A and B are shown apart, each in its own frame.
Chain A
Amino acid sequence: MKPKVAFFDFASCEGCQLAILNCEDILLDILNLVNLVEFREALSEKAPRYDIAFVEGSIHRDEDIERLQNLRSRTTVLVALGACACNGNVQARSNFVAPAVNYEVIYGEEARNRVQVDADHWSLWSHTRVRPLDAVVKVDAYLRGCPVVPAEFLHLVKSVLHGTTPFFPPDAVCVECKKNGNECVLERGETCMGPITWGGCNSICVNNGYVCDGCRGTLPHANIDSHITLMREHNIKDEDIRNRYRLFLGAEPIGRGV
């Protein structure tokens, strides 16, 4: 029996599902081995039960919670797909700003007032409650990154098909930077989230001349105190350090605390 695989999304750009559809060279081989039963980006069928559910997106509203719990009850394995599902992603920045404040910036004072007094707009307040999936249900595996890394997706699918445990080493992005022989971002006089961030991305941003922004979430052993000291030594203002942490990590305890 081929495993039943389904894809779902919550608050996200659906870019992670697209990243998987972009694995054209292996996609057809995978489709021969699994039974794809739900994938809004690619098909219209529905199914009552799944063996593996890939869930993209972060959780905001009460109805999201109900839908996710319902999904969880109907799947054997639940995989958090991408940074929104794993750690909340950039939309979690809204956890720190009242919707009325954003409305005023974009649409002016009248809009700000309406958001607060008109009950039809109150659901907007759910945007201050951005959470990753594991704040609501048990997550069996995490495919991190914004977007996900096709090689990690393939590793996970193969592991499930072969009945082995997938292994994503809890190593910092620095490990891959060194394997790639990169010049350290610090050596360039810039600062980097790499030392505290889950690797697995093959340090793609640093390879291409940028710095690590930490999209893959903080490592379980991340030495945050040391990282903040490091940023301060590079004369980064505390406000900017907070912004660096809240860019991708706003929904993580650490992003709230910095």
Chain B
Amino acid sequence: MSYYLTTLQNITNWIRKTASENPVYFPEKFGHASYRFAEVKADSDIQFEHYTPTVLPPVKLLIPAREELLSFKKHADGKTEINPTLDESFRVIAGVRPCDLKAIFLIDLFLKDGVPDAHYLARRENTALVGWACTAPCDSRVFCAAVDSLHHTEGADIFITPLKHGDLLVEVKTELGEKLAAGTDWQTCDDGPARKVGTVADMPEPFGRTFPVTAQDIYKNVAEKWKSPVWDKHVERCFSCGSCNLVCPTCYCFDVSDDMNLDVASGNRTRTWDGCMLPHFAVVGGGHNFRPDPAARQRHRVKRKFEYLTEKFGHGAVCVGCGRCGRQCTAKIDIYDIVADLINEGDQ
């Protein structure tokens, strides 16, 4: 781990230089008022501070919406040939905020657990992450501080923190980060950790939306609630369109299908995003649906984020408070409101 001091201009130039050598993804403005992670081109506008959460979180660059897992072919002699499809191309994702870093850190845990997800890990191991500390809430819907993701830096190869007087403190956290930083004229900084305390640019207090309980106590408030009117209240307007799942940086569920070619001898196995709010998500063989009504599906979703995966992995809430689901929900349902209602409801 080494620390450097530099300026925003130097960092921007460094990103452009890196992008001329390898694909670098950075938030770009598009449409009416949205952002997305897109490959940096010569004329890209590189602005670290001023972007609202991207429509899709950066982790989706590592779990594409539709991905071939393997291809197969049956030969004339009866033998079947199977070839896994792994994407090992190198890429850099820059301008990643702490909430999205925490999400990638969590997805790393989930997809290494049990049978490791070779397809995700191939991409992940060939991806460098350049993080950027937030000094102001990026959107009115965020509640990152309330779920303890505002100061997350683990998983980043390089992490940049704006200091009080306009300089940037650059933490190079991994070997891969060292490689990317090689040849830069950033000024070495011997008292990096000390500078992280005290000289960091001012941050508002409270930061974003807050809950009346601490991040640790959210778990208890959600775990105790199986039967609660809150589960019915918020789904009244739900379209079951799954937007909340699909834009969530810690949702990773997928469906697998085998697509045969017309020759009936070859084909491929692909996976596509799935989501627990979609009506057929919990349909099993024989046609039974374990969660046919939206209230049961929403309870499952909220409990995954604040109870089930919290218990299993022990890293607190699996919701990182980015506010994407609430912003993207066509029916204006916000997971923050659901959790706030559960907390305010008190003991039952």
Specify the chain A residue showing the minimal Cβ separation from B264: A162
B226 part of interface (Cβ distance < 8 Å): no
Query: Contact between B34 and A183 (Cβ–Cβ < 8 Å)?
Result: yes
Give the residue of A161, A172, A180, A220 whose beta carbon is less than 8 angstroms from that of B241: A172
A139 part of interface (Cβ distance < 8 Å): no
Query: Contact between A178 and B243 (Cβ–Cβ < 8 Å)?
Result: yes
Beyond A29-B262, A172-B241, A226-B236, is A221–B31 a contact (Cβ under 8 Å)? no
B331 part of interface (Cβ distance < 8 Å): yes
Give the interface size class of chain B.
35 or more
Specify the chain A residue showing the minimal Cβ separation from B60: A181
A247 part of interface (Cβ distance < 8 Å): no
Query: Contact between A178 and B34 (Cβ–Cβ < 8 Å)?
Result: no
CB proximity of B100 to chain A, nearest CB, Å: 15
User: In chain A, residues 201-258, which have Cβ atoms closer than 8 Å to a Cβ of chain B?
Assistant: 220-223, 226-227, 229-230
Beyond A162-B264, A178-B56, is A226–B328 a contact (Cβ under 8 Å)? no
Which of A181, A182, A192 has its CB near the most chain B CB atoms (within 10 A)?
A181
User: Which residues of chain B are near A167, meaning CB under 8 Å?
Assistant: 257
A174 part of interface (Cβ distance < 8 Å): yes
User: Which residues of chain A are near B330, meaning CB under 8 Å?
Assistant: 174, 184, 186, 192, 194-195, 230
Query: Contact between B262 and A178 (Cβ–Cβ < 8 Å)?
Result: no
User: Which residues of chain A are near B34, meaning CB under 8 Å?
Assistant: 183, 187
B227 part of interface (Cβ distance < 8 Å): no
CB proximity of A204 to chain B, nearest CB, Å: 15
A134 part of interface (Cβ distance < 8 Å): no
A74 part of interface (Cβ distance < 8 Å): no
Beyond A26-B262, A184-B330, A187-B32, is A175–B238 a contact (Cβ under 8 Å)? no
Give the residue of B30, B238, B242, B275 whose beta carbon is less than 8 angstroms from that of A183: B30
B260 part of interface (Cβ distance < 8 Å): yes
User: Which residues of chain A are near B264, meaning CB under 8 Å?
Assistant: 161-162
Query: Contact between A226 and B238 (Cβ–Cβ < 8 Å)?
Result: yes
A6 part of interface (Cβ distance < 8 Å): no
CB proximity of A5 to chain B, nearest CB, Å: 14
CB proximity of B90 to chain A, nearest CB, Å: 22
A-B pairs, top 9 by smallest CB distance, nearest first, are A183-B31, A179-B65, A174-B241, A178-B246, A195-B239, A172-B241, A183-B34, A226-B237, A188-B32
